[in-house]
Every structure is written in C-alpha cells, then in structure tokens.
C-alpha cells in the first residue's frame, strides 16, 4: 500500500515537472527566461486579485514580447485586457495570458533572437578604461559626421529630383561623391559598432519594442499622458546610462518628450530610439543614375 502511494506521488511529481517549463541553462537565455517568469508571476497575482490598474496594464503591454504566441499587443487578448471592466472577465483574460506565457516559456523563441543579436545582454557592461573610452569617442565623432553627410546628401537628392530631368545630369559628380562617401561610411560604421551593438544596444532595442507595443494599442486604447509618463519613466534612466558612442545620439530621444500630442511623442521616440540600436542604418545612398533617371532603374514588365 505504501509503495502504491509512493508510485502515485512519483507520477504526480513527474506530471508537475512536465507541466512547468524547463529553464534553459545558457546564461543569456536563462536571464530572458527569468525575466518573463517574473512577468508571469505579476499576471498570476493580478488574476488572483481579479484586478489590474491602468499602470499595471501598461507595464504588461511594454514587457510581454511582441510576436510568437501572444502577438503582443495587437493580439485580441491585449485589446480585451484594456477594455475589461468586469473583475471576472479581467481575471479570465489574465488567466489566458498566463497560459500563453507558459507556451512562450516552453518554445524559447522569445529569447532566441535576443541572445543571437545581444549575446551578453544578461551581463552589466564594465566601464571602459581610458583607452577604450577615447576609441568610443572617436567612433562617436566619425558616426555623427557620417550622419551629417547623409543628411547633406539627402538634401542634394531632393534638389536633383525637384529639377527638370535635362538639368539633373549636372549633379552626377556630386551624387557620385555622396554614393562613395556613404558606402565607405557605412562599412566603417558597421566595423566600429560590430561589438558595441552587441553590448550597448540591447537596452534601446527593448525600449523601442515597448514603445512600438503601445503604438499598436492606439486603435483600442486612447494614448494619453499616462502612457507617455510610463514610457518616460522607463526610457530616461536608460538614456542617462548610455555610454559613448551611443550617448552622442541620445538627444533626439529626449527631445521626443517635448511633443504635446502623446501619440506624436511615441512615434518620434520610436524613430529616435532606432538610431541607438541600429546606428548605421541611415548611411545609405542610391546610385546616381537611378536618381537622375529613376525609370532607368525600374524593372520592366515581362
């Protein structure tokens, strides 16, 4: 009889172990797993309490990963979460979200990209020594100059496109110069940031996801100053902690909060944060022949 009870108990323990998602062992993945597990703990607590404040809903919208099972926050569950007023309905939605997170934690996709793109995102970066700091400041100077050149070339392109086609050929030399300069600048930038992006760009990438998640909710939830306050509380400490060279690109993200319209704040911030986690992306210029005669570069139908 005792052996039978032990066997039943063993089966129960095995079943519970099978039901609980197994934590990964790789440090970056484990950090991401634990982060999501903490989000799940908050969801469980809200479901048990049959209550969630607007601030708690906003935090969930910023913390749950976009894509995978929940497609947060464009997914129907999030729309229902913000609309729910009945305590029992709210608890049911939160319970469903808890089950969704179980699936995410089992699947592993929620941190697969994170740990490929930001393999040391689980480690607090060490302050650079004097030599490394000087090198980072030099990178900042080069990259700021490269983006200034990109802006200059964009203005030239607009000028050329606004001119009659017969007069565009006079700009071929200047356009070729832009193409050559920005090709070289992008190659240099990608080399400069090859390691820095892995270490320093994860925080702005995560902040950008949080902002994008709130933008996705604008059709079902009125974006207000409360949303902006929640984003500001998350973003400003991150900007304050930025190290060179990314610190040189932080001003537009701060300036976004000066907008009066809450939706405009989020849109402008979303674009500004991209410069912090993808600093080389804007260093691109089209071939001069395609600017002078755009139709020459268009694919002809078969």
What does the pLDDT look like over 178-188, one tens digit per residue?
A: 999 999 999 99
pLDDT tens string 259-286: 999 999 999 999 999 999 999 998 999 8
Q: Which residue has the higher pLDDT, 183 or 5?
A: 183
- Domain hosting residue 72, numbered range: 23-117
13 pLDDT exceeds 60?
no
The answer to whether residue 10 is domain-embedded is: no
The answer to whether residue 68 is domain-embedded is: yes
Write the CA distances from 182 to 264, 266, 279, integer angstroms: 30, 29, 13
Tell me what the mean pLDDT of segment 39-59 comes to: 91
Residues 187 and 87 in one domain: no
Tell me what the mean pLDDT of segment 33-44 comes to: 91
The answer to whether residue 62 is domain-embedded is: yes
pLDDT category at 102 given cuts 50, 70, 90 is: confident
Under 8 Å between Cβ of 208 and 267: no
Under 8 Å between Cβ of 277 and 225: no
The answer to whether residue 125 is domain-embedded is: no
Residues 233 and 265 in one domain: yes
Q: Is the pTM of this model over 0.95?
A: no
pLDDT of residue 285: 92
Residues 70 and 153 in one domain: no
Residues 255 and 210 in one domain: yes
**Separation of alpha carbons 83 and 219, rounded Å:** 12
Tell me what the mean pLDDT of segment 184-207 comes to: 91
pLDDT of residue 300: 55
Residues 224 and 268 in one domain: yes
Boundary of a domain, candidates 90, 117, 144: 117
The answer to whether residue 1 is domain-embedded is: no
**Separation of alpha carbons 167 and 256, rounded Å:** 39
Residues 27 and 112 in one domain: yes
Domain count, the chain: 3
Q: Which residue has the higher pLDDT, 231 or 295?
A: 231
pLDDT category at 68 given cuts 50, 70, 90 is: very low
């Amino acid at each position: 009889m005792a052996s039978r009870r032990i066997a039943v108990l063993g089966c129960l323990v095995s079943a519970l172990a099978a039901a609980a998602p197994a934590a990964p062992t790789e440090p970056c993945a484990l950090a991401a797993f634990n982060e999501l597990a903490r989000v799940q703990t908050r969801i469980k607590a809200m479901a048990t309490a049959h209550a969630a404040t607007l601030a708690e809903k906003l935090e969930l919208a910023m913390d749950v990963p976009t894509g995978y099972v929940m497609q947060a926050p464009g997914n129907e569950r999030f729309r229902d979460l913000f609309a729910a007023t009945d305590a029992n309905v709210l608890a049911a939605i939160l319970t469903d979200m808890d089950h969704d997170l179980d699936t995410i934690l089992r699947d592993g996709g929620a941190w697969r990209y994170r740990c490929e793109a930001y393999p040391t995102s689980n480690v607090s970066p060490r302050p650079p020594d004097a030599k490394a700091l000087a090198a980072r400041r030099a990178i900042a100077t080069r990259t700021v100059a490269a983006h200034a050149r990109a802006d200059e070339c964009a203005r030239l392109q607009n000028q050329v496109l606004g001119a009659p086609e017969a007069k565009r050929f006079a700009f071929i030399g200047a356009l070729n110069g832009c193409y050559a300069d920005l090709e070289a600048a992008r190659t240099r930038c990608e080399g400069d940031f090859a390691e820095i992006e892995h270490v320093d760009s994860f925080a702005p990438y995560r902040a950008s996801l949080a902002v994008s998640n709130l933008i996705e909710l604008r059709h079902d939830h009125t974006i207000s100053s409360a949303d902006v306050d929640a984003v500001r509380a998350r973003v400003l400490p991150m900007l304050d902690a930025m190290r060179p060279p990314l610190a040189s690109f932080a001003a537009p993200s701060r300036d976004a909060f000066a907008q009066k319209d809450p939706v405009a704040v989020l849109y402008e911030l979303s674009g500004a944060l991209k410069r912090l986690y993808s600093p080389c992306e804007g260093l691109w210029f089209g071939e001069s022949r395609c600017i002078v005669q755009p139709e020459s570069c268009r694919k002809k139908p078969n």
